[in-house]
């Protein structure tokens, strides 16, 4: 983990940079995947499945969910259900109810939510099957009332899907699960095949190929949850922070992947030294030590003059996850402007938000927290505005509309009002 002491503000932009990946060759690969699936449909998907995941695949399999729970321990099922309950509680507060407003007598306006019809969810498999992400995406989709939620996740070399993913899909009402991974899964959901329906919006994390495929899908008119990149955490720790806690939080981020990034900010050199010492001890005990070590090469411990500077740096970096491990954590949290999700106080570990506190863990990365929000019920909804104008209303608002339309030279707009006013005036006569 690289240490940086008292960088000047003009140097901060360089410190905000995330690891960069080569994009040109990646883009060519993604375009070829989409071309193949557009031309060959299910056969194209099957070709890539055999090549990258399950060599013995003969068909695109729709996975049965009914008996998934039989393969899990009661302890794990209870933990998943606890997380489901908390996530449902939190997200149910986001459901809005229409408020009808008379902007003037006879003119009533309101807005209503409608679910996006068909949702596609991508869940990574591999060494870390993210069944928690099934909960984070399928639960708000369920609350929003989405008609059809399909899920794609890669099979292992034997064609199997982690039963925890299947169980999470089962209890959250996912419509269908397909054993398909990688960019080919995104392409199949974006284009549609004989087996896989074309979706309206795609959600979920993934490696660089999945991320690039989601970006490319937008060119086909398919919405995505948000721009995404490698996962990241920024921790602000003062002299009162527990170094072991902070080190554990840095490592919980670093084990996500080699391209993850962990940033430590402090106004105390002793704190940084103690955290780095703890980091070495805890790292040696991790099963995913090699991955975490690579991530730490992209990571930094930065010593700043005071906590206000730490907050300013954090707002500039715009982290996916922000942990405030300071004595005055609540006060500092009020100054946060750019972050995906904030964890306040020494006991608020990122793992809580990743799994079971209730907030969503699908969050903007790579600085997009400056202008994007994390996934919520709103992510699965469209907002439609309505208006109802009575005869009284058109009399009240009509003359202003006529004046405005005429000033813009849009006479047909003006006449749409005038013809109604004249009709009403003739009735009065």
- Residues 314, 137: Cα–Cα separation, whole Å: 27
Pick the catalytic residue from 232, 255, 256, 321.
Answer: 321
Question: CA–CA distance from 127 to each of 63, 157, 165, 256, 288 (Å)?
Answer: 20, 12, 13, 10, 10
Contact (Cβ atoms closer than 8 angstroms) between residue 367 and residue 346: no
320 catalytic? Reply is: yes
Q: Running DSSP on this structure, what letter comes out for residue 355?
A: H
Contact (Cβ atoms closer than 8 angstroms) between residue 167 and residue 72: yes
Contact (Cβ atoms closer than 8 angstroms) between residue 156 and residue 124: no
Pick the catalytic residue from 255, 278, 320, 402.
Answer: 320
Burial call 174-189: b when 16+ CB within 10 Å, e when fewer: bbbbbbbbbbbbbbbb
| Region of 5 on the Ramachandran plot (φ > 0 left; ψ -120 to 50 alpha; else beta) | beta
Task: Name which of 342, 369, 300, 307 is nearest 11 in CA terms.
Answer: 300
- Residues 248, 52: Cα–Cα separation, whole Å: 34
Active site residues: 320-321
């Amino acid at each position: 983990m690289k240490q940086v002491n008292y960088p000047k503000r003009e140097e901060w932009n360089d410190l905000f940079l995330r690891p960069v990946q080569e994009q040109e060759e990646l883009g060519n690969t993604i375009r070829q995947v989409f071309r193949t699936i557009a031309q060959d449909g299910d056969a194209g998907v099957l070709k890539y499945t055999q090549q990258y995941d399950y060599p013995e695949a003969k068909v695109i399999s729709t996975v049965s969910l009914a008996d998934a729970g039989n393969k899990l321990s009661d302890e794990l099922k209870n933990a998943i259900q606890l997380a489901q309950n908390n996530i449902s509680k939190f997200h149910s507060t986001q459901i809005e109810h229409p408020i009808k407003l008379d902007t003037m007598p006879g003119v009533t306006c309101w807005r209503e939510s409608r679910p996006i019809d068909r949702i596609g969810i991508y869940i990574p498999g591999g060494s870390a099957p993210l069944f928690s992400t099934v909960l984070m995406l399928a639960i708000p989709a369920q609350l929003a009332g989405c008609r059809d939620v399909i899920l794609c996740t890669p099979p292992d070399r034997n064609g199997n899907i982690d039963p925890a993913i299947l169980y999470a899909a089962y209890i959250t009402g996912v419509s269908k699960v397909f054993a398909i991974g990688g960019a080919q899964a995104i392409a199949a959901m974006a284009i549609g095949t004989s087996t896989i329906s074309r979706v309206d919006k795609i959600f979920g994390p993934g490696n660089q190929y999945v991320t690039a495929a989601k970006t490319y899908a937008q060119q086909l008119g398919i919405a995505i949850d948000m721009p995404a990149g490698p996962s990241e955490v920024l921790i602000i720790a003062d002299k009162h922070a527990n170094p072991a806690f902070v080190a554990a939080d840095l490592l919980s981020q670093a084990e996500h992947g080699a391209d993850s990034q962990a940033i430590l900010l402090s106004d105390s050199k002793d704190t940084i030294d103690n955290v780095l010492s703890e980091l070495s001890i805890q790292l040696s005990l991790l099963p995913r030590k090699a991955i975490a070590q690579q991530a730490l090469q992209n990571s930094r411990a930065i010593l700043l003059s005071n906590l206000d500077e730490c907050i300013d740096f954090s707002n500039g970096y715009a982290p996916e996850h922000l942990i405030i491990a300071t004595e005055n954590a609540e006060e500092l949290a009020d100054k946060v402007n750019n972050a995906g999700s904030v964890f306040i106080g020494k006991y608020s570990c990122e793992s809580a938000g990743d799994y079971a506190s209730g907030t969503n863990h699908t969050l903007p990365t790579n600085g997009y927290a400056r202008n994007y929000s994390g996934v919520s019920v709103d992510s699965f909804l469209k907002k439609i505005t309505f208006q109802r104008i009575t005869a009284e209303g058109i009399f009240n608002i009509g003359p202003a509309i006529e004046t405005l339309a005429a000033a813009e030279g849009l006479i047909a707009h003006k006449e749409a009002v005038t013809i109604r006013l004249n009709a009403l005036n003739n009735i009065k006569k």
